[in-house]
Chain A
Amino acid sequence: MNKITTYKEKSNQFKSIFFFLSFLLFQSVGIAQNEEATVDTTQKVETEQAKEAETIEATAGGEDLILQGEKLFKANCKACHSIGDNKVVGPGLKGINEKREKEWLIKWITNSGELIASGDADAQAIFDEYNNVPMPPQAVSVEDIDAILAYIKTPPVSQQDVATPTEEVTVEEDSSTMLYVLIGLIIILGGLLFFINKSRVSIAKQVAAKEGTPFNGPISLLDALKFTISNNKGFVAAVVIVLFFGGLVDLMDGAFTIGVHQGYKPEQPIKFSHKIHAGDDKIDCNYCHSSARHSKTSGIPSLNVCMNCHKFIDGSHGKTFVYNGEEYSMEEEIQKIYKHLDYDPKTQKYGDNPTPVKWIKVHNLPDHVYYSHSQHVTAGKQKCQTCHGPVEEMDVLEQYSPLTMKWCIECHQETKVATEGNGYYEDMHSRMTDEYKEKVLGDGKLTVDEIGGWECAKCHY
């Protein structure tokens, strides 16, 4: 996939340079195509699973209780508590063994309400601190609690790993390097030409001197060129004509790329990586872009959707990630969400001064095009990747498709309509006379253009 993209980009760049030159030819300034350095990032990240397996291996040395506790903690406690000192829903449990009596903890865990009702001052204080939200009674035995507490006391070391993924970032030669090489080559070739000419003149002069005739051939490079041209008029004319029409064709070609922003890849105010969310974590596209199924727009998720997960995943483990070839701290980026929402993770309260996130729109369709996501996603049963490309591999989201009308209608010509089991199409087909049935359905393939997918008013109104 990368190869194709790169090739396409290259050819585009070449075209745009050529187009630029040809435009100059027509007394105007050419266009500068979107010449962003393309960074091809290949990451070699060790898989989490492998690491986890290692961890288990390392801690398996007889500490069954802790392992047991880990299991129980993950099953019963983790939704609301961390083993660090950060709040999730309830308080972080780091150092809980030292802070509280075991008896008290057992009472609290099995029935916090009773403990509060009994007038315990500590219990009341916690209850107050957490906005009178009680901790629900947990169905765990005393042994279980022992295990959990043991786990909290000495969690397996690798659990707190701060391992940065090993990455190998290879940056391809960008086009500017190519340009320098090209310029260098031209200079070298020019110099070579110059010296060849010089030696040609000196040889010719020597030959002439030998023969005793005066030398009256061309001396300078320019004269030599003029001489050659005047002696090969037909050839020069042919070259000029070819260049002219070639330029014209390219000008046309180039004009078609105006306004096409394939590969547009802006950095976003929050360094959101689709690769991590859709690729590594395998979150369904529709989880965040829920309106894609219902509406014309796929919808940029509102921050409350982010908070569904990021209320708990605050990045405090200190991991980093790669975005547009650079390394960023997860915590810092997640903090940006909190900042925009004016959310305080310590008190878990939202403030009064939330600020909007100004995302940069990647896919910009012109106003005169009506595109409906739900038409394609729900009715047409298309995968998001058909148009958006391998989003799960992109850390910075880019415009994968050209989004030109040509691209639209070509797809409409090839794509089969998702008629299976849809009562709408059954009704439509039942209306057709045999003649039309044969005409439209005869080849056993009903494509979008056959049901009017090429008509103007399907997209323009």
Chain B
Amino acid sequence: MANSTKYWKGLEQLNETTEFQELSKNEFPEHLPVDEFLGDKESLEDASTTRRDFLKFLGFGVAAASLAACEAPVTKAIPYLNKPEEITPGKANYYASTYYDGHDYAPILVKTREGRPIHITGNTESTLTKGAINARINASVLSLYDGNRLKAPLMNGKETDWKTLDAAVVKELKSAKNLKVLSSSIISPSAKSIINGLITQETKGDVEETNNNEVLVSYDAISYSGILTANEESFGKRAIPTYNFEKAKTIVSVGADFMGNWLDTQMYINDYAQTRKPENDWMSKHFQFEANMSLTGTNTDVRTPVKPSEYGAILAGIYKAIGGSISAPKTAYDKQIAAAAKALKANKGESIVVCGSNDKNVQTIVNAINNQLGNYGKTIDLDRHSNTKKGVDSKVQELIKAMNAGEVDALIINGVDPVFTLGDDFKKALTKVKTTVCFATKMNDTAAACKYVAATNHQLESWSDANPVEGHYSLGQPTISPLFNTRQAEESLLKWSGNDAPYSDYIKTIWERDIFSRQSSSLFFNDFWNKSLHDGVVEIPVTPSETPLTFNGDVAKAASAITKIKGGAIEIELTQNMAVGAGSGADNPWLQEMPDPVTKITWDNYVSMHPADMEAKGYNTKFGQEEAMNVVNVTVNGKTVENLPIIPQPGQAKGTIGLALGYGKQVGNQKEIVGKNAYPLVTSTEGGFSYSGVATLTDVETDEPCKIACTQVHQTIMGRDAIIRETTLDIFKKGNKEEYNPAHTLLAHENGETVNKLTKEFNIWQKDQPVENIGHRWGMSIDLNACTGCSACVTSCIAENNVPVIGKDEVRRARIMHWMRIDRYYASNFQDPGDIAGTLDKTKKATGKGTTFSYQEMETPADNPMVVHQPMMCQHCNHAGCETVCPVAATTHSNEGLNMMAYNRCIGTRYCANNCAYKVRRFNWYNYIAYKKFTDINPSQDDLGRMVLNPDVVVRARGVMEKCSMCVQRIQEGKLDAKKAGSKVVDGAIQTACSSACPTNAITFGDLNDKESAVRAGMENDRAYRVIEEKGQEPNIYYQTKVRNLKSSKAESGSHHS
């Protein structure tokens, strides 16, 4: 009502399907699953238990229960024999460490309790990532306690001991004539040094320097070889540059999901968010051209859906438009290209152009554009280059060739699963290698095909160091002793090269030699080491190279190569999503259950397609609990992936499909494989690996209906549209709050006249909760401009609050237990997006109560909707609807503004959830920690998985309600710390799980009664509003109106919707 923009959660709402309307009427879409408790009906009827028997059992049961209750349970308590000095039982310890799995890099902070790591957040000391992490890094703590981990080294598939394995491996390696090491990009200076030492006997050279007969072959599952090669040809430096998004006023991304999974996302995301604050002098303008609806695409200002085959042509067009000499092929996007080029030209040296293609020709044009704009040395830095991606596709292809030719007789594989990612080609070649050694934490396809499997530690059990970017170093320390008989890869390599020193000592030696000597802050190495280990990160100044970069790329050649890229009727673009990434999250139940930020689908990968395309093909475009999706086989370049569900994705470029990589692995003890492995569709061409191509779809008839567990229509907020507030930059800059964030008013009769009165003047409550002028008032301020939807907060909340995993089947039934979710709204502009107040008046006058528009008025909004991500958790209303309806007062309000939930008091009437306007209450339908249905899926059901539970938060039983507590355990701890120190609670000292995990600081938590606090500033900000405020529930969570860098005139928004 407050907004002319129509928001819809999914196509169901847009099309107002009957299922959606049903759902929106029922908080709980299903009835109590009694049948499942009592078994099937027939056997129940056949049962011979008579009424008398039943009463006898009942009597006995009651008696036995009461007797049992009287017996004092003997609980044993076992203290430490020799308590480590730094551990106080009941208090958490934090250790700085480093996460790097070949795909994601971040300096992290690990929270441990009594020696168990239980939570991971980013290390804010790092100037590189500024504390940013993603959901995968956050959830990696769970994989430490994965019962399916390798528990001992394997030799020929059988468990063995390290002595035997070492002897056998050393013997074989010594006799090897041609040893190769295939590894994910190594950013550890120490590991690199070990591999150097391991092979110098044979090659006499540095692993990376020797070009002929290289021993170390770097291989990234998701290759960035195109950028590496293009940079080598353009600037003579085979490296990935660092991008300073902080300085970029114009950002053009062509198919690069740099806020999700492209290169070093953790290094960009916080910087990008800094440029999106409309209160600043300038706000960056972001153009996105892409095929799939990526996370970056959902956050952009101007998004243009294009086919992957057109990326090159679009970039050529941009190059031409900014003054480059190139023959650009004609595209259908001249208007958008011109707009992007205009903005780029206006911000020379303050812009960034990136592209997600792995084609070196396309990347050469990107380099040419950035060079023409003078971005090198300003927003793009090749001196301080990134080391996280080093894999060059041609080297990998050469290795496979050499293996097939029988030239390689020993191969060590580290950090990658090439049989999974490269498929049968690699598997076949592997059989030709005599000695195969694989480092693996879990049994994977490659480990199964190797002779020796050196079971490695989890990262949290290992020492590590990293040099992700020139001049930036970080250290990783173990936070728990190895749980199984495993050894970290580096230590194994060290042993095999004849050095028995522990790896930690080795790192120390390398640091003393190479890094200590380059810094000047510490005088003694021990001080330097201790400080580095404590802080986790070290920064060493880099002297920029004296010779300025000169661009030598052959643009003409690249341009002609681009014209040869063939399009097709259906083009596929293979992506990674936030949960699984390149595959690292595939076996993690927390991540599988985390709804995808865009599709909101859990526990699956799927083919995404434009709804109109789907309708044309006659596919089902509706989601629903019992809705079966169509199933297709996808064939690219002769390789087929079978039985993929196909789902509608608004904003997907027409004629394209998307599919996420990394799936197809077993999760927990489930026999079922989750999703399908899409890596076979990556085509290996002369130019490297290609993640897009022409696809053909074949329909599959299935007997088993393919159902999707999608949360997007769950807990729908019923027909209330004052949820999202959004405006454009020019309106915001005018500074009239009433224009973009008007206060809510209600009609009232006064002295016979109808007047508009502010909502807050209406109050049906006799007595207000005294939260304003007494003590604390905890609250949050959530900036919709900063929230990217990445979902790191979701997994962080799961880890902190012991939220159970319930599996695909239950998620499908809308019983997901997540305390916090990120609502994704598609927005269709059918009127001027800027003129909110005007429309509000108009609609009010027209209808008297609200808008009555027809969805058909919108010009096919699903073509290219704008997207808003809104983190949603308990709003801790001061006039809460849930509190008043609870018959047993299990949920009450605290004087500190918290909506409290006493589980032990709850009797499970679910009135509260029905009465919650925000649909944030979750009901425990089952005893998830014991019921057999969840044994294979809920990690908390085995002793190992239980170790990740937060001991400060209770594990809820069946039949009770639960919801966000605003991390009351952290609030209590923070207050206690302040009381003990005898000082006020310092603003920022208490962080909720979500706010601590947010990479862009979109969520600010604090005390609203503290006049100096950041959250108070957020609340008093002109952009601040509360969701469905007109209902007068007085939530303590404030949201900041989203501001897009658009003009309110129809011209630009029109182009947006072409």
Q: Is B894 an interface residue when CB atoms closer than 8 A count as contact?
A: yes
Contact call A28/B62, Cβ cutoff below 8 A? yes
Contact call A296/B90, Cβ cutoff below 8 A? yes
- Given A359-B77, A361-B75, A455–B900 Cβ distance below 8 Å? yes
Bound Cα distance A330, B544 (Å) = 73
Bound Cα distance A435, B774 (Å) = 10
Among the listed stretches B80-88, B809-817, B1022-1030, which one makes contact with chain A, having 4 or more residues with CB under 8 Å of it? B80-88
A358's closest neighbor in chain B, by CB?
Answer: B76
- B66, B88, B981: the one within 8 Å of A294 (CB): B88
Q: Is A136 an interface residue when CB atoms closer than 8 A count as contact?
A: no
8 A Cβ contacts from B959-993 to A: 965, 968-969, 972, 975-976, 978-985
- Given A370-B952, A455-B900, A461-B954, A423–B982 Cβ distance below 8 Å? yes
Contact call B79/A432, Cβ cutoff below 8 A? no
11 A-B contacts (beta carbon < 8 Å): A291-B89, A299-B88, A341-B82, A370-B952, A379-B980, A424-B975, A424-B978, A431-B773, A432-B774, A455-B900, A456-B901
Contact call A457/B894, Cβ cutoff below 8 A? yes
- Given A359-B78, A360-B77, A31–B69 Cβ distance below 8 Å? yes
Taking CB atoms, residues of chain B closer than 8 Å to A460 are: 900, 902-904, 954
Question: Digit string of A431-461 for contact with B (CB within 8 Å is 1, else 0)?
Answer: 1110110001000000000011001111011
Bound Cα distance A371, B59 (Å) = 36
Contact call B59/A27, Cβ cutoff below 8 A? yes
Residues of B participating in the A interface, judged by any CB pair closer than 8 Å: 59, 62-63, 66-67, 69-70, 72-83, 88-91, 770, 773-776, 890, 892, 894-896, 898, 900-905, 952-955, 965, 968-969, 972, 975-976, 978-985, 1009
- A304, A372, A457: the one within 8 Å of B81 (CB): A304
Q: Is A354 an interface residue when CB atoms closer than 8 A count as contact?
A: yes
Q: Is A275 an interface residue when CB atoms closer than 8 A count as contact?
A: no
Taking CB atoms, residues of chain B closer than 8 Å to A423 are: 981-984
Bound Cα distance A367, B88 (Å) = 20
Taking CB atoms, residues of chain B closer than 8 Å to A357 are: 78-79, 81
Taking CB atoms, residues of chain B closer than 8 Å to A367 are: 954-955
Contact call B895/A452, Cβ cutoff below 8 A? yes
Among the listed stretches A53-61, A66-74, A213-221, A256-264, which one makes contact with chain B, having 4 or more residues with CB under 8 Å of it? A256-264
Closest CB pairs A-B (n = 4) = A295-B90, A457-B900, A427-B984, A302-B83
Within the complex, the shortest CB–CB distance from A356 to chain B, in Å, comes to: 5
Bound Cα distance A372, B896 (Å) = 19
Q: Is A34 an interface residue when CB atoms closer than 8 A count as contact?
A: yes
- Given A295-B90, A378-B980, A424-B978, A259–B69 Cβ distance below 8 Å? yes
Contact call A261/B72, Cβ cutoff below 8 A? yes
Taking CB atoms, residues of chain A closer than 8 Å to B88 are: 290-291, 294-295, 299
Contact call A421/B982, Cβ cutoff below 8 A? yes
Query: Which of A302, A340, A378, A458 has its CB near the most chain B CB atoms (within 10 A)?
Result: A302
- Given A368-B904, A455-B892, A340–B90 Cβ distance below 8 Å? no
Taking CB atoms, residues of chain B closer than 8 Å to A151 are: none
Bound Cα distance A292, B90 (Å) = 10
Bound Cα distance A261, B71 (Å) = 9
Within the complex, the shortest CB–CB distance from A419 to chain B, in Å, comes to: 10
Contact call A294/B91, Cβ cutoff below 8 A? yes
Contact call A455/B894, Cβ cutoff below 8 A? yes
Bound Cα distance A367, B903 (Å) = 11
Contact call B79/A300, Cβ cutoff below 8 A? yes
- Given A423-B983, A460-B904, A461-B965, A304–B82 Cβ distance below 8 Å? yes
- A23, A258, A424, A432: the one within 8 Å of B69 (CB): A258
- A258, A378, A425, A440: the one within 8 Å of B66 (CB): A258
Contact call B983/A295, Cβ cutoff below 8 A? no
Taking CB atoms, residues of chain B closer than 8 Å to A341 are: 81-82
Contact call A431/B775, Cβ cutoff below 8 A? yes
Taking CB atoms, residues of chain B closer than 8 Å to A30 are: 66
Taking CB atoms, residues of chain A closer than 8 Å to B78 are: 356-359
Bound Cα distance A372, B90 (Å) = 9
Bound Cα distance A276, B894 (Å) = 45
- Given A304-B82, A304-B83, A364–B73 Cβ distance below 8 Å? yes
Taking CB atoms, residues of chain A closer than 8 Å to B91 are: 291, 294-295
Q: Is A303 an interface residue when CB atoms closer than 8 A count as contact?
A: yes
Taking CB atoms, residues of chain A closer than 8 Å to B982 are: 421-424
Taking CB atoms, residues of chain A closer than 8 Å to B770 are: 436
Contact call B954/A368, Cβ cutoff below 8 A? yes
A24's closest neighbor in chain B, by CB?
Answer: B63
Bound Cα distance A296, B76 (Å) = 18
Bound Cα distance A358, B75 (Å) = 9
Q: Is A297 an interface residue when CB atoms closer than 8 A count as contact?
A: yes
